[in-house]
Amino acid sequence: MDAEDRQHYFIGGSVFLEIVTPIFQNHLQRDYQHRGFTSLQSFLDSQPVKHKLFHLRFKNSCCKDKANCVKKRSLPLNNYQWDLLYSENPAWCNQCHCKYAAKSLQISDLDISCAGLILLNCCNLTQGEDHAIRTLRQHKNAEFSHNTTGQITKTDYDILWADMKKEILHMENTKQDALKRIENRPMDEPLCKKYSTCLLDTHEQLNEVKFF
């Protein structure tokens, strides 16, 4: 195993979990509070948000608000994420978002993927914020979600670091010192293993991939 490539993976993973995830969570919280929602639960339970997220998980037609049904070719919100956000009461309805109610959640319960999806689909973003979130999500998916080796080459890392730094500082310009601290962080193998589990997609984790 290449120690340098392993270090690249650890640094990038640390940035995604320690900096990017809280940024996504904080932006989401500020957005719903600005719109008058007192909690994440009340935001998720609002009709427009629940309807949008429903169609990111299901292809069903809705018995209510059919005019605003938007069928998606892909379903980016997975079962685990949907079950984290909503509970079901089939007595209310038999086919759509009407039978779901938002759970009582803390913003810290949302991982980077779930928070990013909600931001992109349910929040008011500037063009720059939208681009930053999409870019960071793309890098997370490309370099971590299916990375079963726990390594990143120098070429990929150089691109990753430059893009991450640019987009993170666009969203939160106070993160310069935090980025520098992580960039110079020594390797911590137990923490790297923990981060590997957090960053892998669920189906990769179920395959019980052995990293080492």
Residues 159-188: pLDDT tens digits? 999 999 999 999 999 999 999 999 999 999
Q: Is the pLDDT of residue 73 over 90?
A: no
pTM above 0.85, yes or no: yes
For the stretch 34-47, pLDDT in tens is: 999 999 999 999 98
* Nearest CA-CA partner of 54 in 81, 18, 89: 81
Do residues 54 and 96 lie in contact, with contact meaning Cβ atoms separated by under 8 Å? yes
Q: How confident is the prediction for the chain on average, in pLDDT?
A: 89
Asked if residue 96 lies in contact with residue 63, where contact means CB atoms within 8 angstroms, the answer is yes
What pLDDT, in 10s, does the model give residues 148-163?
999 999 999 999 999 9
- What's the pLDDT tens digit per position in 11-24? 999 999 999 999 99
109/49 Cα distance (integer angstroms)? 18
**How would residue 66 be classed by pLDDT, with cut points 50, 70 and 90?**
low
